[in-house]
């Protein structure tokens, strides 16, 4: 049913009894045109755009747990397109544009809040690098502004300006960046896809991929074999495992990244702020909790939990940046599994196996990419060729050297 | 997590630095398919969800590079040896 | 029976010191409690029942519990820069002068305007915001969101920087015991008697746990007496430490536990030199979780009214604090704990109006107690609704014969059974399992080395607690190689009945009227769970996320399990199949300050200082952060700007001599028979021919073919080299080399040692530099031009002290770098300056250094940015074709050999007065400034004093072939644009004559 102020009021009067399921609890059918493995943000968005943009609706999204159980529900909810590399800038800007119209498109309030993303810099060298990035953004028609210390002080007076080990010299601001209510993204896309006929099948784990004569035939699941014309892999955190079922070896390591939320407090931080002298970023949710995170733990892990030294390092950055937070309490910490790719950029495209499409390697940038990832992946699946936006994110770029290494860190995943 | 350095004893993970998969070996640069082998060496990983052989360095200790066998689901460490003591190819 | 000043305080009993009154204030009202009180017990003693407002509906709330699980009684504790929002009154230890203020209400606690949310609550059920606030789109950021954000949140953070300090510490032990109740004490004593190193952490400020809240006797004495005896014994054991006020908050891999010790939270402010909190990392070989259990509320209509309390907490207020939480009580329970509650209430003189036992069959224990006290007993009955606004006035019950009956009361003691406190067992991904017999979640797979004792096992019977504590304590010590005898104690407690868990849990009362809360703080009701299921959010995690259940400051301690139970009921499945929510650290919320410790302000990161830092400070240097280093940026004379100072320094160097501290450059000592072979594989250029006494510029690639670093390597013998690296990359290069040595080519016999900090190093540059050095370097060393030409390196002495001298130049001038053991660094610089006075020498900083290297087109951080190849930097010819080296093969990939790659160029603004800034992008002239036409960017720029104009280096597509072309340098970020001419990057002395001067 359509959501509106009218439906909310009328259901209020009827004791909320008339609401129906946001998506059907579908049973798997024997055959689909497209099977999407992974019911996270990217998989559900892919299904939605396949149905909406390409008229393909005989689709199943297979999720081994409940939808949104992966990183779409365990991230720090930031959206932005403040990238240096042209491929990234174009792609993430398209994502941001899709975010801007997403609620009306989905008829679901995912609370896209364009409150601004500010990257602080602390040295001349960092300023120059940010200027290069900001100018690249401006050349791509992306909003960006370079603030000096006084302007940052005016915006965020509670930062430590006067006794800082790494003094704040200014910041690169993207006003259109912001946050989104993360879980709602999965639910909104699920509802949108369901309304277009997509089967969303939870508790359905893919255990094998059947390949016949070099072409994909379908997937084995804990609920039986499902034949499929095309199989699209969207299973960040387990990409290597699933790809192995198709005989693929990926340029990916699985790592854990932690995030934290504090107790709810009245509004304090009204934009997304990143600290340039440590890996740290912070925003405040609409419930009032400060949401923040730092670097990945730094070693291969499939355990959704983090280590204590990283916790401490993140809190040290928090206190270095905002010394007023000392008495605020951390309420929860959690770890998400990251596909860390070898150049820090994702892989969206074809694979050597005909009919298998890969969407992986998002490092910790996957959430903000959700709409564009789904949109581009849907295009790639529907037309069997990448869209120009995702063409640079090909699997074989490491062989050709066309790496998309935003940080210039080289082929070491834990440095990206 | 705590890692037992063969030289220094058990130390917290904060003293160590991680490098990744230790099963890959630098290929022969003069081999006929060197480029392809080097692309694989540097980029492709088994990335198993289980026992993983990996390089660590006791960075804030003796600086020895270690080969650690660790279950990446449980972080249980099965063995640690000095990388330089590994049996040569 | 009650004292006059504290109308609900009992005349006797409890662990409070009636001779030690403490004055405190709540919402500005002056109140008195006693030493030993919590804020909650003191408020209850004074009849204060309304303490807070709920998150969403702003409903009036009181005190539900007596522990960390408290969802309702949250206050702002302290004021000013020490203000702590969301502090739980139930665990806040009272001290004289404590100031507490209610929160999340306006204008006052009694009259909160946002309680209007309660009236429109039928329209704002769970998830309503996903369905509205979408029109028009632009209203979200401007109208809806600010409104929602202002209404949400609870307390306010401190308005200024935290004045208190925090500390971190590490402890090691054989056995860590978590929880200081009967089981934890028994475990610690059993383990401690074996001689094992034991740490007992207890979150409370008095040891004893459940023994304090219930009436208990052990071996003939009271539970409190037993606790004191045991505490005395533990205190006398040298290998045992008992840490009170210490909450173990997280379990981490490798037997590491995080714990927060509240050193000063019970004091008006920390004592001198004491932190407010101390965060402990405890490394334990074995651990025993004896964290007890948390009572379950029951969901019925208006079950959130102040005066509705957990039964065990009611007993605690009576027995521990000597407070009667009401005057006329009703007991509502589904277990035999009601008997003990009734006994304790009666003993405290509270009038018990009725006992409502939800179980169908009459319970002997409860019936007998009711009969003994002459209290009406309703078996098979339920409380369906509570009445009263700011405080409970009556309850409605539904009797077993379906009659509704109203009973007036101001206290309802409810118990829906108990949830073992097993949070820590699942921090390493262990999944709790539902135990049908215990009707509770019990520990599933445990963290390695952990065992569970006491009520956390699901059995809260005091004897069982003592026995399981003793057994696990001894077993844990035994595992660590200690042996001893199993202690044995016998006891009985007034809470024992509660361990006779109900056959069936009672999550919610059927036929309840009004809002029945599950998560009190987040205002999640049973109807919200119904709605979640209706809309397809029936998976445990979906329901939680959809309703925000468990997201409040109590972390769902009283709501998570109930929600699972209700979900199971609604969907007709069993609770085990609903899955369980994962408990994550921290067990209780932890202050950010504690986890940060002293790493804040200037102590955020260590500072590395050059050995000559004192002298440079005396000389008026302005320092700048360079990674962890502080480097002299420029040395202004009075009245000079940084640019004027840097210009003067450049002119002085180029006109005479200057000295720059380059101690921060990485220095790696490389020795061994295979030293040269190793260097050959690390650098892309040839080092085979480098003779002793010579130095060479080297370029290092990553294995992926991009440039990693550059620097000069000196050869002192065939088996001894000293490599220098850039300041920024020194640690990375060292690690890179160690990796390749130990992991890739362990067969090479070579030793690498970082000697960055062992040597101070100065660049002495300028036409007069040789003359200056002649006065400093001991006379026997011939450094004449012929004897010591460009790129020479030698061991020399300065005043008899071993030093190293190399004739190398970054500035383009005749220049040397002289290194001396670090302890002589400051002296050497002073001596150089003293001798240099005759030559008009000056100190120059990193600004002048940068200007001169740009004038010479030398690459630095702006160009060595991880994106460039050797060829990009004009250094392609250095890559040897005759040897294998790191990066050789992958540098041959097509994208790295693309002739259209951006390469290093010099840039000169056509307008001599105009500035080009680093970060500007280069666009072919006549083309639009957009991404399609973006051809590169400015990597570094400077005002050249020698050329009298701005100059810049940049990376430009096919830049090698474009000399003389005019391009646009676009800097839309700063609103400037200029036309620049492409030129050679060597702006000054392109033929290098000055080097050889």
- Summarised one tens digit per residue, pLDDT across range A192-248 is 999 999 999 999 999 999 999 999 999 999 999 999 999 999 999 999 999 999 999
Q: In whole angstroms, what is the distance from residue A351 CA to residue C426 CA?
A: 39
| Interface confidence: ipTM more than 0.85 | yes
| CATH H-level superfamily of B1-24+50-89 | Folate-binding superfamily (3.30.2270.10)
Least confident of A303-312, A360-369, C159-168, C579-588: C579-588
| CATH H-level superfamily of A114-176+253-341 | D-Amino Acid Oxidase, subunit A, domain 2 (3.30.9.10)
Of residues C281, C428, C739, nearest to B19 (C-beta): C739
- Under DSSP, the state recorded for A250 is B
- On the question of pLDDT at B88 being above 70, the answer is no
Contact by Cβ (8 Å): A316, C599: yes
pLDDT tens digits, C440-452 = 999 999 999 999 9
| Average pLDDT rounded to a whole number, residues C918-928 | 95
pLDDT tens digits, C675-685 = 999 999 999 99
Q: How far is C168 from chain B (nearest CA, A)?
A: 15
| Average pLDDT rounded to a whole number, residues C725-740 | 97
The upper half-sphere exposure of residue C173, i.e. CA atoms within 13 Å in the direction of its Cβ, equals 33
B72–chain C Cβ distance below 8 A for any pair: no
- What is residue C502's predicted lDDT score, i.e. its pLDDT? 63
What tokens were used for C878?
């250095």
What tokens were used for C282?
């405890």
- To test the contact with chain B by mutation, choose from A237, A252, A253 the residue with the greatest count of B C-beta atoms within 10 A, namely A253
Of residues C131, C281, C596, nearest to A109 (C-beta): C131
Q: Which residue has the higher pLDDT, A260 or C136?
A: A260
- Spatial neighbors of C64 by CB under 8 A, at least 6 apart, are C70, C71, C72, C73, C297, C308, C309, C310, C313, C520, C558
**Could you tell me what percent of chain A has a pLDDT over 70?**
100
Q: How far is A341 from chain B (nearest CA, A)?
A: 9
Task: State the SS3 of C205-260.
Answer: CCCCCHHHHCCEEECCEEHHHHHHHHHHHHHHCCCEEEECCEEEEEEECCCEEEEE
Closest CA to C906 of C991, C988, C984, C992: C984
Chain A residues touching B54 at Cβ < 8 A: 299-300
Q: In whole angstroms, what is the distance from residue A316 CA to residue A312 CA?
A: 6
A157–chain C Cβ distance below 8 A for any pair: no
Domain map (residue ranges) of chain B: 1-24+50-89
What tokens were used for C847?
């600004």
Of residues B1, B39, B49, nearest to A241 (C-beta): B49
Chain B residues touching C742 at Cβ < 8 A: 64-65, 82-84
| Average pLDDT rounded to a whole number, residues A165-179 | 97
Say how many C-beta atoms besides its own lie within 10 A of residue A30's C-beta. 9
- Spatial neighbors of C151 by CB under 8 A, at least 6 apart, are C114, C117
Element (H, E) at C642: helix C642-655
Chain C residues touching A115 at Cβ < 8 A: 141
C738–chain B Cβ distance below 8 A for any pair: yes
- On the question of pLDDT at C41 being above 50, the answer is yes
Q: How far is A212 from chain C (nearest CA, A)?
A: 33
- Spatial neighbors of A317 by CB under 8 A, at least 6 apart, are A275, A277, A278, A279, A280, A294, C604
What tokens were used for C672?
């061994």
Closest CA to C44 of C312, C314, C408, C311: C314
| Residue C352: exposure state from Cβ atoms within 10 A (0-12, 13-18, ≥19) | buried
Query: CA-based Rg of chain A, rounded to a whole angstrom?
Result: 21
Q: Which chain C residue's Cα is nearest to A405?
A: C867
Contact between C593 and A319 using a beta-carbon 8 Å cutoff: yes
Q: In whole angstroms, what is the distance from residue C782 CA to residue C522 CA?
A: 82
Say how many C-beta atoms besides its own lie within 10 A of residue C195's C-beta. 18
Q: Which chain A residue's Cα is nearest to B53?
A: A300
- What is residue C1's predicted lDDT score, i.e. its pLDDT? 39
Residue C491, φ and ψ in degrees, nearest 5:
-155, 170
Q: Read off the pLDDT band of C503 (50, 70, 90).
A: low
Contact between C884 and B30 using a beta-carbon 8 Å cutoff: yes
Chain C residues touching B55 at Cβ < 8 A: 739, 743
pLDDT tens digits, A316-358 = 999 999 999 999 999 999 999 999 999 999 999 999 999 999 9
Q: In whole angstroms, what is the distance from residue C980 CA to residue C964 CA?
A: 9
Q: In whole angstroms, what is the distance from residue C32 CA to residue C555 CA?
A: 31
> In chain C, positions 487-546, which contact chain A (CB-CB < 8 Å)?
527, 531, 534-537, 539, 541-542, 545-546
Q: In whole angstroms, what is the distance from residue C427 CA to residue C433 CA?
A: 14
Chain B residues touching C743 at Cβ < 8 A: 19, 22, 55, 65, 83-84
- On the question of pLDDT at C166 being above 60, the answer is yes
| Average pLDDT rounded to a whole number, residues C890-906 | 97
Task: State the SS3 of C541-604.
Answer: HHHHHHHCCCCCCCCCCCCHHHHHHHHHHHHCCCHHHHCCCCCCCCCCCEEHHHHHCCCCHHHC
Question: Whole-prediction pTM value?
Answer: 0.97
Of residues B36, B43, B49, nearest to A302 (C-beta): B49
> In chain C, positions 897-956, which contact chain A (CB-CB < 8 Å)?
917-921, 923, 929-931, 934, 937-940
- On the question of pLDDT at C100 being above 70, the answer is yes
Write down the mean pLDDT value for chain B: 96
Chain C residues touching A408 at Cβ < 8 A: 706, 865-867
> In chain A, positions 192-221, which contact chain C (CB-CB < 8 Å)?
202
Q: In whole angstroms, what is the distance from residue B6 CA to residue C144 CA?
A: 60
pLDDT tens digits, C237-272 = 999 999 999 999 999 999 999 999 999 999 999 999
Domain map (residue ranges) of chain A: 114-176+253-341
Its sign, for the CA torsion B17, B20, B25, B27, is negative
C801–chain B Cβ distance below 8 A for any pair: no
Least confident of C26-35, C865-874, C924-933: C924-933
- What is residue C2's predicted lDDT score, i.e. its pLDDT? 41
Contact between C162 and A22 using a beta-carbon 8 Å cutoff: no
pLDDT tens digits, C770-823 = 999 999 999 999 999 999 999 999 999 999 999 999 999 999 999 999 999 999
Q: Read off the pLDDT band of C151 (50, 70, 90).
A: confident
pLDDT tens digits, C616-649 = 999 999 999 999 999 999 999 999 999 999 999 9
Write down the mean pLDDT value for chain C: 95
Q: How far is C696 from chain A (nearest CA, A)?
A: 26
> What do you get for the CA distance between the two ends of chain B, in Å?
30
Q: In whole angstroms, what is the distance from residue C44 CA to residue C24 CA?
A: 13
List chains adjacent to chain B, taking adjacency as at least 3 C-beta pairs closer than 8 Å.
Answer: A, C
Contact between C541 and A73 using a beta-carbon 8 Å cutoff: yes
List chains adjacent to chain A, taking adjacency as at least 3 C-beta pairs closer than 8 Å.
Answer: B, C
- What is residue A1's predicted lDDT score, i.e. its pLDDT? 84
Q: Read off the pLDDT band of C751 (50, 70, 90).
A: very high
Q: Read off the pLDDT band of C4 (50, 70, 90).
A: low
Write down the mean pLDDT value for chain A: 96
- Spatial neighbors of C65 by CB under 8 A, at least 6 apart, are C71, C90, C294, C295, C309, C310, C313, C558
| Average pLDDT rounded to a whole number, residues C512-530 | 94
Contact by Cβ (8 Å): C558, C294: yes
Q: Read off the pLDDT band of C3 (50, 70, 90).
A: very low
Contact between A250 and B45 using a beta-carbon 8 Å cutoff: yes
B60–chain C Cβ distance below 8 A for any pair: no
Domains of chain C as residue ranges with CATH: 1-160 (3.10.20.440), 166-293+420-498 (3.50.50.60), 297-416 (3.50.50.60), 507-601 (1.10.10), 633-851 (3.30.1360.120), 899-997 (2.40.30.110)
| Average pLDDT rounded to a whole number, residues C498-505 | 69
Contact by Cβ (8 Å): A168, A149: yes
Q: Which chain C residue's Cα is nearest to A168?
A: C625
Q: Which chain C residue's Cα is nearest to A104?
A: C134
Of residues C128, C258, C929, nearest to A308 (C-beta): C258
| Average pLDDT rounded to a whole number, residues A156-183 | 96
- Under DSSP, the state recorded for C605 is S
| Residue C910: exposure state from Cβ atoms within 10 A (0-12, 13-18, ≥19) | exposed
| Average pLDDT rounded to a whole number, residues C879-894 | 97
The CA distances from residue A23 to A190, A197, A198, in Å, are 6, 10, 9
Classified as helix, coil or strand, C124 is coil
List chains adjacent to chain C, taking adjacency as at least 3 C-beta pairs closer than 8 Å.
Answer: A, B
Q: How far is B29 from chain C (nearest CA, A)?
A: 7
Locus of tokens 């925003």: A283
Query: CA-based Rg of chain B, rounded to a whole angstrom?
Result: 14
Buried b / exposed e across C617-650, counting CB within 10 Å, b at 16+?
A: eeeebebbbbbebbbbbbbbeeebeeeebbbbbb
Contact by Cβ (8 Å): A232, A56: no
Q: In whole angstroms, what is the distance from residue A130 CA to residue A136 CA?
A: 10
- What is residue C135's predicted lDDT score, i.e. its pLDDT? 85
What tokens were used for A210?
């059947």
Contact by Cβ (8 Å): C305, C341: no
- What is residue C122's predicted lDDT score, i.e. its pLDDT? 87
Chain C residues touching B2 at Cβ < 8 A: 253-256, 283
Classified as helix, coil or strand, C296 is coil
CA angle A58/A63/A64 to nearest 5° reads: 140
DSSP string, A143-210: --EEEEHHHHHHH-TTS--SS-SS---EEEEETT-EE--HHHHHHHHHHHHHHTTPEEE-S--EEEEE
pLDDT tens digits, C104-146 = 998 999 999 888 888 888 899 999 999 998 888 888 888 999 9
- What is residue B89's predicted lDDT score, i.e. its pLDDT? 47
pLDDT tens digits, C315-340 = 999 999 999 999 999 999 999 999 99
Q: Which chain B residue's Cα is nearest to C746?
A: B84
What tokens were used for C555?
């972390």
């Amino acid at each position: 049913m359509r959501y509106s102020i009218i439906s909310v009021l009328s259901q209020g009067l009827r004791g909320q009894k008339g609401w129906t399921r946001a998506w059907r609890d579908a049973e798997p059918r024997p055959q689909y045109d497209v099977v999407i493995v992974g019911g996270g943000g990217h998989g559900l968005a892919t299904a939605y755009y396949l149905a909406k943009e390409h008229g393909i609706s005989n689709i199943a999204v297979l999720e081994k747990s409940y939808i949104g159980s992966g990183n779409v529900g365990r991230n720090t909810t930031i959206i932005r397109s403040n990238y240096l590399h042209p491929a990234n800038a174009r792609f993430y800007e398209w994502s941001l544009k899709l975010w801007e119209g997403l609620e009306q498109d989905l008829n679901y309030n995912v609370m896209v809040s364009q409150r601004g993303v500010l990257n602080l810099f602390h040295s001349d060298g960092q300023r120059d690098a940010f200027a290069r990035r900001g100018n690249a953004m401006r050349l791509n028609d992306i909003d960006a502004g370079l603030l000096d210390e006084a302007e940052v002080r005016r915006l965020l007076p509670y930062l430590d300006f006067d006794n800082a080990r790494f003094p704040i010299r200014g910041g690169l601001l993207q006003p259109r960046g912001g946050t989104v209510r993360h879980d709602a993204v999965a639910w909104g896309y699920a509802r949108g896809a369901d309304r277009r006929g997509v089967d969303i099948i939870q508790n359905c784990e893919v255990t094998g991929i059947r390949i016949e004569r070099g072409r994909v035939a379908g997937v084995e699941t804990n609920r039986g074999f499902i034949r499929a014309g095309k199989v699209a892999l969207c299973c960040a955190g387990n990409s290597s495992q699933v790809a192995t079922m198709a005989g693929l070896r990926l340029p990916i390591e699985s790592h854990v990244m932690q995030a934290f939320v504090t107790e709810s407090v009245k509004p304090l931080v009204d934009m997304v702020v990143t600290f340039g002298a440590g890996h740290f970023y912070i925003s405040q949710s609409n419930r009032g909790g400060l949401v923040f995170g730092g670097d990945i733990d730094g070693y291969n892990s499939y355990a959704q939990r983090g280590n204590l030294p990283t916790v401490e390092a993140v809190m040290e950055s928090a206190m270095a940046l905002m010394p007023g937070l000392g008495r605020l309490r951390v309420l929860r910490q959690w770890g998400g599994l990251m596909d860390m790719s070898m150049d820090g950029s994702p892989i969206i495209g074809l694979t050597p196996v005909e009919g298998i499409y890969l969407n992986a390697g998002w490092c910790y940038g996957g959430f903000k990419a959700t709409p564009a990832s789904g949109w581009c992946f849907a295009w790639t699946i529907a037309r069997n060729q990448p869209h120009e936006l995702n063409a640079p994110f090909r699997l074989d770029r490491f062989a050709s050297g066309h790496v998309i290494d935003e940080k210039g860190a080289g082929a070491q995943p834990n440095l990206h | 997590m705590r890692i037992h350095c063969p030289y220094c004893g058990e130390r917290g993970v904060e003293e160590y630095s991680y490098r990744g998969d230790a099963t890959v070996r630098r290929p022969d640069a003069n081999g006929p398919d060197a480029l392809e082998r080097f692309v694989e060496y540097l980029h492709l990983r088994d990335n198993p969800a289980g026992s993983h052989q990996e390089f660590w360095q006791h960075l804030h200790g003796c600086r020895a590079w270690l080969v650690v066998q660790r279950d990446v689901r449980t972080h249980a460490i099965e063995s640690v040896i000095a990388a330089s003591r590994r049996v040569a190819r | 029976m009650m004292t006059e000043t504290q109308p609900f305080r009992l005349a006797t009993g409890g662990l409070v010191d009636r001779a030690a009154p403490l004055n405190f204030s709540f919402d500005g009202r002056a109140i008195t409690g006693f030493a030993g009180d919590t804020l909650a017990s003191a408020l209850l003693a004074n009849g204060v029942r309304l303490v807070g407002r709920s998150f969403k509906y702003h409903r009036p709330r009181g005190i539900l519990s007596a522990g960390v699980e408290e969802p309702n009684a949250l206050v702002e504790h302290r004021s000013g820069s020490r203000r702590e929002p969301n502090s739980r009154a139930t665990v806040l230890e009272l001290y004289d002068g404590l100031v507490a203020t209610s929160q999340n209400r306006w204008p006052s606690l009694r009259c909160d305007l946002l309680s209007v949310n309660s009236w429109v609550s039928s329209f704002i059920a769970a998830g309503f915001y996903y369905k509205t606030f979408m029109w028009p789109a632009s209203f979200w950021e401007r109208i809806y969101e600010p409104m929602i954000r202002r209404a949400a949140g609870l307390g306010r953070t401190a308005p200024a920087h935290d004045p208190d300090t925090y500390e971190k510490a590490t402890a090691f032990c054989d056995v860590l015991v978590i929880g200081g109740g009967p089981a934890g004490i028994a475990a610690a004593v059993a383990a401690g008697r074996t001689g094992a190193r034991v740490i007992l952490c207890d979150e409370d400020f008095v040891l004893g746990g459940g023994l304090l809240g219930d009436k208990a006797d052990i071996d003939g004495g009271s539970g409190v007496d037993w606790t004191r005896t045991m505490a005395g014994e533990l205190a006398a054991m040298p290998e045992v430490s008992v840490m009170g006020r210490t909450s173990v908050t997280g379990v981490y891999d490798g037997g590491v536990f995080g714990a927060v010790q509240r050193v000063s939270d019970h004091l008006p402010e920390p004592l001198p030199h004491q932190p407010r909190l101390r965060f402990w990392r405890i490394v334990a070989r074995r651990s025993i979780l004896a964290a007890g259990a948390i009572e379950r509320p029951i969901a019925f209509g208006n079950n959130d009214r102040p005066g509705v309390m957990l039964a065990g907490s009611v007993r605690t207020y009576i027995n521990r604090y000597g407070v009667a939480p009401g005057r006329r009580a009703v007991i509502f329970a589904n277990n035999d704990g009601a008997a003990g509650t009734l006994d304790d209430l009666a003993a405290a003189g509270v009038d018990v109006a009725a006992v409502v036992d939800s179980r169908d069959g009459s319970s002997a224990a409860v019936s007998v107690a009711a009969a003994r006290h002459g209290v009406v007993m309703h078996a098979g009955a339920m409380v369906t609704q509570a009445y009263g606004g700011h405080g409970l006035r009556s309850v409605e019950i539904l009797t077993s014969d379906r009659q509704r009956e109203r009973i007036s009361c101001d206290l309802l003691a409810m118990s829906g059974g108990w949830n073992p406190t097993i949070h820590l067992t699942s921090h390493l991904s262990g999944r709790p399992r539902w135990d049908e017999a215990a009707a509770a979640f019990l520990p599933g797979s445990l963290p390695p080395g952990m065992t569970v004792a006491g009520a956390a096992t699901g059995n809260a019977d005091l004897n069982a607690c003592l026995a399981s504590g003793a057994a696990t304590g001894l077993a844990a010590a035994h595992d660590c190689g200690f042996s001893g005898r199993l202690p044995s104690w016998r006891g009985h407690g007034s809470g024992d009945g509660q361990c006779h868990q109900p056959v069936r849990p009672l999550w919610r009362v059927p036929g309840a009227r009004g809002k029945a809360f599950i998560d009190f703080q987040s205002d999640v009701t049973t109807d919200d769970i119904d709605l979640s299921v209706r809309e397809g959010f029936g998976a445990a995690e979906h329901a939680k996320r959809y309703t925000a259940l468990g997201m409040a400051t109590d972390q769902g301690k009283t709501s998570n399990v109930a929600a699972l139970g209700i979900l199971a009921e609604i969907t007709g499945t069993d609770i085990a199949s609903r899955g369980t929510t994962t408990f994550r650290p921290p067990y209780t919320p932890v202050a950010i300050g504690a986890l940060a410790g002293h790493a804040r302000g200037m102590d955020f990161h260590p500072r590395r200082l050059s050995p000559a830092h004192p002298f440079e400070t005396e000389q008026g240097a302005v320092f700048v952060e360079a990674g962890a280093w502080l480097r002299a940026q420029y040395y202004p004379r009075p009245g000079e700007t940084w640019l004027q100072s840097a210009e003067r320094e450049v002119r002085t160097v180029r006109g005479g001599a200057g000295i720059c501290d380059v101690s921060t450059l990485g220095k790696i000592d490389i020795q061994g028979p295979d030293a040269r072979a190793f260097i050959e594989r690390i650098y892309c250029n040839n080092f085979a021919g480098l003779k002793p006494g010579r130095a060479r510029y080297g370029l290092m690639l990553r294995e992926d073919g991009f440039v990693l670093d550059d620097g000069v390597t000196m050869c002192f013998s065939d088996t001894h080299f000293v490599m220098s690296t850039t300041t920024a990359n020194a640690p990375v290069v060292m690690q890179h080399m160690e990796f390749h040595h130990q992991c890739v080519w362990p067969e090479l016999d070579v030793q690498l040692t970082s000697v960055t900090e062992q040597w101070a190093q100065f660049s002495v540059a300028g036409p007069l530099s040789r003359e200056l050095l002649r006065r400093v370097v001991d006379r026997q060393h011939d450094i004449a031009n012929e004897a010591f030409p460009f790129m020479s390196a030698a061991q020399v002495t300065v005043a008899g002290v071993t030093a190293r001298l190399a004739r190398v130049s970054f500035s383009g001038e005749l220049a040397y770098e002289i290194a001396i053991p670090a302890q002589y660094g400051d002296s050497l610089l002073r001596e150089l300056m003293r001798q240099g006075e005759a030559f008009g020498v000056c100190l120059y900083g990193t600004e002048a250094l940068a200007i001169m290297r740009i004038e010479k087109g030398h690459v630095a951080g702006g160009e060595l940015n991880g994106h460039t190849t050797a060829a990009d930097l004009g250094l392609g010819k250095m890559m040897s074709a005759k040897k294998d080296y790191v990066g050789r093969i992958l540098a041959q990939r097509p994208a790295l050999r693309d002739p259209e790659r951006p390469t290093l160029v010099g840039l000169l603004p056509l307008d001599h007065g105009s500035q080009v800034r680093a970060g500007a992008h280069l666009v072919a002239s006549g083309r639009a400034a957009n991404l399609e036409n973006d051809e590169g960017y400015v990597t570094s720029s400077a005002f050249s004093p020698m050329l009298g104009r701005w100059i810049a280096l940049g990376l430009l597509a096919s830049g090698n072939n474009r000399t003389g072309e005019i391009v646009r340098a676009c800097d839309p970020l700063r609103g400037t644009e200029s036309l620049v001419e492409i030129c050679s990057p060597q702006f000054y002395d392109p033929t290098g004559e000055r080097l050889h001067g």
